[in-house]
Structure formats: C-alpha cells, structure tokens
C-alpha cells in the first residue's frame, strides 16, 4: 500500500517521500467472505460428527474449513464441500455461492477423480501385485487426465470469485511403515499408496501454481501420524466404511488446520 503524506506549511507545501509497505499476502482489515469447496477431505469425513442438514455430503463441524471459520473473523461462510465429489461436481454444484465479494476459497479435490476408493480397496483386499497395479492406474489418471480437469475447475473458481485468495489443500500420505495390526496390509502396499499420494501431490501443486493459487502441502504435517502409526490422525479400516482412510478429529485440527493457518494467518 502506498502512503503519500503531505505536510502543509504556512508558506509552502512540502511533499515527503512515499513508502511502500510489504503486507502479508493474506492480511486483511475486514471480515472474510469464505467458501470451502471440494470432496470428503474438505467436508470432514472421518470425524464421525456431521451436520444433520448436510445429508450425504457429510459436512462436519470438525472439518478444517469449519474450524477455520469458527476461529477467524468471517462475515459469511459458504460450506459447499461434499463427500464423494469429483472435479465435475465442484463445477456443477459448488460454485453458486461464489461472487466478486468472496475473499477466500479453499478446496481439496482430485482424489476421487483418480479412483481413491477403489485403490484403497484393492490394496486392502488384494495381493501386493494387485495393489501395485491399482496405484499405477491411479497415477496414470493423475498424470494424464487430472491436469485438464483441475485447470477447468480452477479457471471456473477464478471466474466466479475474481477477487478471492484461493488455497488448494493437498492430501497427506496415508500410511506409515512398520508394525501394523491390519491383516495383510504389507509394507509394500503401504509404500505404494504413499508413492501414489506423492504423484497426486505433484500434479495438484503444479496445476494450482499454474492457476495462480496457493498450494498447501499436508504431507509433512501428517508425517508419523498415518494409518499404522502409534498416534493415528487418519482412520484405518472403519465402520461405516466411508470413514476409512480419512483424517480423524486430530487430523483435521492438528494436521490440516495448522497448514491452512500457516498460509492465511
């Protein structure tokens, strides 16, 4: 912000030098108009606590977006994220609440586009080879199909919310290696799942950067807290199944929320 200060004397007007102040990119003097978009990782699946009126979208009061809105100055919160969403769902169903007045958008999307659920199922129930094949198929989709879908989605977000800061939150690595109480969930399977998470992170971060958005990498925040760790922030196989391999309450509060706040303040 450029401040030009004029000092008016009795005999003359003296203009002082102007000063450029470098403010944080996300600093704001007004309440945020915040929209949270995306899939189950954005809606809060895994927390086992959902708003009754959210239906199958399973929006949670423990989701990172709701936690952020509850702890910051937010004038309007549009919680549109929905369990099971793919990029097409965001474009068709989640952009209606965006406008020129929207100041902050967060989004987690892309996992379902590359077959997240089927990959996890094949790795839990199949052989090491079947898991490797399933992850490889997901990686192929991430590299070859997902970029165009993300580009379209990000462009639509920018068009609908031209003045918003947009933060794209990535996915954590889901598992830890070593001792694990899940039958037949070998180190080889867990490593391949994590390899796939890294490929997905690379694609999403690249497309977010190309769109001029900020990518928030969740992998380091969750390190040591994946499935099969001593302090899990991600659920293992669960009942109901939809809770499986999603962050739990700690994952959203101790993993995702600090990552988001490290960018927004």
E strands present in the chain:
2-3, 6-8, 13-15, 19-20, 32-38, 74-79, 104-108, 165-169, 214-216
Rounded Cα distance between 51 and 168, Å, is 24
Tell me which of 18, 40, 71, 136 is the catalytic residue. Answer: 40
| Buried/exposed 2-40: b ≥16 CB within 10 Å, e otherwise | eeeeeeeeeeeeeeeeeeeeeeeeeeeeeebbbbbbbbb
Q: Active site includes 60?
A: no
Tell me which of 18, 205, 246, 262 is the catalytic residue. Answer: 246
Half-sphere exposure of 228 (CA within 13 A, CB side): 21
Rounded Cα distance between 59 and 46, Å, is 10
Rounded Cα distance between 151 and 159, Å, is 12
- 42 closest CA partner among 72, 75, 76, 78: 78
What is the dihedral sign for C-alpha 137, 138, 143, 148?
A: positive
- Contacts of residue 112, Cβ cutoff 8 Å, sequence gap at least 6: 39, 40, 84, 85, 86
Q: Active site includes 72?
A: no
Q: Give CA separation, 112 vs 21, 124, 200, in Å.
A: 42, 17, 11
My answer on whether omega of the bond before 163 falls inside 30° of 0, hence cis, is: no
Q: Would you please indicate which residues are annotated as catalytic (active-site) residues?
A: 40, 246
């Amino acid at each position: 912000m450029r401040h030009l200060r004029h000092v008016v004397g009795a005999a003359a007007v003296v203009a002082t030098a102007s000063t450029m102040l470098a403010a944080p990119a996300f600093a704001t003097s007004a309440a945020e108009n915040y929209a949270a978009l995306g899939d189950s990782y954005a809606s809060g699946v895994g927390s086992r606590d959902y708003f009754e009126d959210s239906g199958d979208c399973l929006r949670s009061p423990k989701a990172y977006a709701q936690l952020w809105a509850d702890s910051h100055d937010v004038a309007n919160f549009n919680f549109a994220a929905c369990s099971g969403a793919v990029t097409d769902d965001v474009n068709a169903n989640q952009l209606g609440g965006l406008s020129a007045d929207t100041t902050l958008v967060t989004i987690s999307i892309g996992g379902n586009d590359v077959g997240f659920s089927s990959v996890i199922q094949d790795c839990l129930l199949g052989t090491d080879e079947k898991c490797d094949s399933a992850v490889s198929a997901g990686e192929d989709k991430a590299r070859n199909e997902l970029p165009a879908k993300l580009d379209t989605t990000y462009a639509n977000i920018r068009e609908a919310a031209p003045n918003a800061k947009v933060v794209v939150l990535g996915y954590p690595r889901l598992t830890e290696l070593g001792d694990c109480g899940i039958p037949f969930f070998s180190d080889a399977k867990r490593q391949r799942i994590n390899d796939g998470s890294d490929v997905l992170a690379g694609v999403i971060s690249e497309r977010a950067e190309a769109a001029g958005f900020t990518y928030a990498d969740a992998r380091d925040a969750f390190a040591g807290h994946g499935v099969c760790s001593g302090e899990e922030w991600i659920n293992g196989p669960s009942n109901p199944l939809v809770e499986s391999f999603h962050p739990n309450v700690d994952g959203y509060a101790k993993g995702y929320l600090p990552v988001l706040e490290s960018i927004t303040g």
